[in-house]
Amino acid sequence: MVRGRRKNSPFGSRFVKPRVGAARSTVTEPGPVAPVPAPSVPRTEAVGELRPGHPLADAAMNDRLHAFEQGFRERFAQLVPVLKEVHALQHERDFQERAQRIVLDRLGYQLPEKALEDAWINDLDTRELYLHGTFELFDQVVNEYWAGRDDLVAEAESAIAYFLDCDFHEVDISPCSDGRLLGLRRFILRLPDLAVRVKSYAGAQFDIEEDVRHWTKRELLRFREGRPTTADVPSRYLKIAAYHYSGADPLHQGCAAHGNSERDAADGALHQLRAFRQAIENTYCCGASVDTLLIGVDTDTDAVKIHIPDGDTRMSLYRFVDSAALYRETQGLDEQSASLRVYQAIQDAIHQQGWGRGNGAPHEGMLRLISRLLLNNISQLEYVARYHGGHYADVGHRERVIIVGQEIEEMQVRNFAYFAHLETMEEGSDGIDVGVNKIFRKLNVERGLPVPVVIHYRYDRKVPGSRERVEARCRRIRRTIMERYRDLAEKGLIGCHMVIRDKRSGSRLEPLVA
């Protein structure tokens, strides 16, 4: 158990440590900021101009991530070709046996017998088989994720020690639910799976009351159990919100929850951060241990804008470091000079004038973390430059599934799933409506494909009755979804797969029968 700050953590060993920094501020959250002027937020330049080969890139990690991404995508890419092959055999004499053998050999699961038996009467229900196959492959990927991954715990411990060196005892990230941000933790920011909390919401509009409850729980653990450090160690809870935009097609491929407006997406996320901080301070007094950070992501390239807090913890939409510009500026430098330029870019943002002007620098720990995140993202830009030609081909939505309920940490491949955080359908209907109506009706329904929905919740095996209550919630959510989208359900154009599991990391999915 980590009870104090540890030095020389292997996580972030290449970070840039700023030589100067402001003392930690205890100023309360500021009041309303000046009105935003008519010009839009400065836009990131296209990363398509970048070449692979950057002195600060982690080539070995990029190779590992590419192997993971390719294996993940290739598995799901086989589904439609295999189902087409099965469909072509449906009138053959030995259809059932051949179909089962093909699917088992190529995809590793069994087709539902009833669907095959009824094929001679009503033709093969390929929509049912598509849903069944998507859900089977989904379960396989999640359950296999932890096999042979003993390194995950060591990576998390190293990262937590680094966060403590930066004076943060908890890092909590709320990105937008958009599937193009699904790789935010593992790819874009390069943070270990078990070291940070990630919960996605449409438009990054996270639930403030729920986050206040989580903050309270984490503080209680510090006081009662000394996790991850004792309460007498000066550290803070860091809340990060991540909005997104499209550099290539800003009017059509931005955040659907904010009408594709980058400024609205950024301003909405910043508003939530201010409200969260204010809620903590109003409830637990001025100066409570909370820091906030705003990050923008260009989903075409994975470049980030990290908005730099000032000495009073204020952030501005106009004060940020653009990782794409930093990548270009440092590509021809040696490693030491490039690292120094990362630090200088942060200082340039801190001391800028005009609309982005702030009141000095944030505390040194925040500067160190921002440096680390920029370095990590430079590796991701190298990844996109090397393996995707500097710019993703799928700048729009290409998700395969909607995940409803609680986050699935194993799903960390860009554009694979849209996530709708949901405790009750009444409170979370906006998030799932964006997924079904604004994304999957165009992606799937217009092509005749159904919308696969995975309903996922965790239970606590230590709490009596927890599993039964979670089962009941899954069934209630499924029933409500099918009723809400009855026009799709009646045509077999939406289907739900219910899975639960224990809250321990690495626990296997437990499918529920409808």
State yes or no: is 178 an active-site residue. yes
Q: What is the pLDDT of residue 29?
A: 35
pTM for this prediction:
0.86
Domains, the chain: 78-132 (no CATH), 156-387 (3.40.1050), 400-512 (3.30.1330.140)
Cα–Cα distance for residue pair 61/487, rounded to 1 Å:
46
Cα–Cα distance for residue pair 17/15, rounded to 1 Å:
6
Under DSSP, is residue 363 helix (H, G, I), strand (E, B) or coil? strand
Phi, psi (degrees; rounded to nearest 5) at 33: -85, 170
β-pair type (290-298, 303-307) = antiparallel
Q: What is the pLDDT of residue 148?
A: 66
| Residue whose entry in the numeric block shows the structure tokens 């590796």 | 379
Q: What is the pLDDT of residue 505?
A: 76
* DSSP code string of 365-399: HHHHHHHHHHHHHHHHHHHHHHHSTTS-S--S---
Residues across the chain: 514
Backbone φ/ψ region at 302: left (φ over 0), alpha (ψ -120 to 50), beta: left
Q: What is the pLDDT of residue 327?
A: 96
Strand partners, 506: none
Q: Mean pLDDT for each 10-residue chunk of the chain (514 residues)?
A: 43 41 34 40 50 94 94 93 94 92 96 89 90 96 82 87 94 94 95 90 92 91 86 89 93 90 96 95 78 96 97 94 96 94 96 92 96 97 94 88 89 89 71 90 95 96 95 94 96 97 89 91
Q: What is the pLDDT of residue 335?
A: 95
**Spatial contact of 62 and 386, defined as CB atoms under 8 Å apart:** yes
Q: How are the residues of the chain apportioned to helix, strand and coil, as percentages rounded to the nearest 5? A: 45, 15, 40
Q: What is the pLDDT of residue 37?
A: 42
Compute how many other C-beta atoms are within 10 angstroms of the C-beta atom of residue 343: 20
Cite the DSSP H helix spans in 4-150.
Answer: 59-77, 79-88, 95-107, 113-117, 119-122, 126-144
* DSSP code string of 396-460: S----EEEEES--TT--STTSEEEEE-SSHHHHHHHHHIIIIIIIHHHTGGGT--EEEEEEEEE-
Q: What is the pLDDT of residue 93?
A: 86
Compute how many other C-beta atoms are within 10 angstroms of the C-beta atom of residue 59: 13
Catalytic site residue from 165, 178, 193, 211: 178
